[in-house]
Structure 1
Amino acid sequence: MTRLAGKSALITGAGRGIGRHFAKTYAAEGARVAIGDIDFERARTTAAEIGDGAIALAMDVTSEDSIEAAVDAAHDSFGGIDILINNAAVFTAAPLTEITRADYQQVFSINVAGTLFTMQAVARRMIKDGRKG
């Protein structure tokens, strides 16, 4: 199947788990995939498993500079970004009464702020390129 032939996707948190599955599935459907992950080695392993049409990106969604660099790299490699999958996320496995402010701030900075700022960076690039989304 090649429903996504000619499309390119940036997937955050794609070095393992659900993000890795998204990357492999989208690639199997014909998309070029940018594997963004805070652990570059995991991203590189996933990209190598996919082969042609996959690139690995070191991407920390808590850093706007890292987000911009990853968006630029995906754009430059593929000539544009058509699809964003905001998959990077964490959770705190602790009883409610034991979650600390640091735990909360980490979850918020990755799951909420990271998602927002990655969407903004990709949207700005898509608008600049005249792409619809």
Structure 2
Amino acid sequence: MSLNAAPVDLSGKTCVVTGANGGIGQSAVAHFLTQGAHVFATDVAEDYGGTADTNLSYAQFDLLQEAGLADAALWVKNCQPDVLFNNAALFDMGSVLDADLTQMDRLFGVNVRAFYALLQAASQSMVASNTKGSIINMASQAGHRGEALVAHYCATKAAVISYTQSAALALAPHGIRVNAISPGVIDTPMWKTVDGLFARFEGKEPGQKKREVGEAVPLGYMGAPEDVARVAVFLASQQSEYITAQTICVDGGNVLR
């Protein structure tokens, strides 16, 4: 029996990473670079906080500003990506009694509206250049179920999962694969903010919520950014060439589906 082993190597590929300055984004950038890709990274921060590399280019865009989003979409097209890691997102908390429309507009503005605009830009570029690319959207375990204090965020991530399925079906005739990654609780710098929000809304001590959620994971601990980045490399590579329209949970067993 012959073994046709598909490569993980991304040499010669162009990968676009949004939300590149966070823990998961920086890890994805580093993993793509390690596999030989040229990476175009973007975030709202003026400067990139990760390690510099000759195969890394960085651009700043504010996706909540109309002009910034338009510039970012054009930038994505001009990058002519083989891979889009669609990772930029905002998080906030509040029950349906106090999570107002301003919070809703901010979260949906980045997590859904900007997410979709950049997905569309990458798709149009891939179709125009006949690139059989891979689009990887960042969902969340919050997109699989509602949470009392995270209504708007949960709704945005449910939308990401739905758009992933629809885009995958629309782009399949062009040989473009669209999948999502659904992280559980991942130990990133953002968790300091999340923990603080839970301390305020649930009356917990600082660090208590982070400890509790880690212990509640079936595997017994929080994940790391590289746990997500490794799956992103898999979805970007030929290893996953027959996978599309799927949401892969990277959550230590939190979501059973």
Structure 1 segment 1-133 matched on structure 2, within 5 A = 3-41=9-47, 43=48, 45-46=49-50, 49-62=51-64, 63=66, 64-73=69-78, 75=79, 80-133=80-133
* More helix as a share of residues: 1
Give TM-score, length-normalised by structure 1: 0.83
Distance in 2, Cα, partners of 1:55 & 1:8: 11
Query: Does structure 2 conserve the Cα–Cα contact (< 8 Å) formed by 1:61 and 1:115?
Result: no
Q: Give 1:65 deviation, angstroms.
A: 1.4
In the superposition, relative to structure 1, how do residues 70 and 123 fare at CA in structure 2: closer, same or farther (>3 Å)?
Answer: same
Equivalent residue of 1:33, what SS? strand
Distance in 1, Cα, partners of 2:128 & 2:62: 23
**Structure of greater relative contact order (alpha carbons < 8 Å, 6+ residues apart):** 1
How much is the aligned-residue C-alpha RMSD, in angstroms? 1.9
Distance in 2, Cα, partners of 1:8 & 1:85: 11
The amino acid that maps onto 1:112 is: V
Which segments of 5 or more consecutive residues in structure 1 lack a partner in the other structure? none
Query: Does structure 1 conserve the Cα–Cα contact (< 8 Å) formed by 2:77 and 2:122?
Result: no
Which segments of 5 or more consecutive residues in structure 2 lack a partner in the other structure? 1-6, 134-257
Distance in 2, Cα, partners of 1:23 & 1:118: 17
**Percent of aligned positions that are identical:** 24
Distance in 1, Cα, partners of 2:71 & 2:23: 21
The amino acid that maps onto 2:86 is: N
Distance in 2, Cα, partners of 1:29 & 1:97: 47
Give TM-score, length-normalised by structure 2: 0.45
Q: Which deviates the most, 122-131 or 92-101?
A: 92-101
Query: Does structure 1 conserve the Cα–Cα contact (< 8 Å) formed by 2:74 and 2:121?
Result: no
Larger C-alpha radius of gyration, 1 or 2?
Answer: 2
The amino acid that maps onto 1:118 is: L
Query: Does structure 2 conserve the Cα–Cα contact (< 8 Å) formed by 1:27 and 1:50?
Result: no
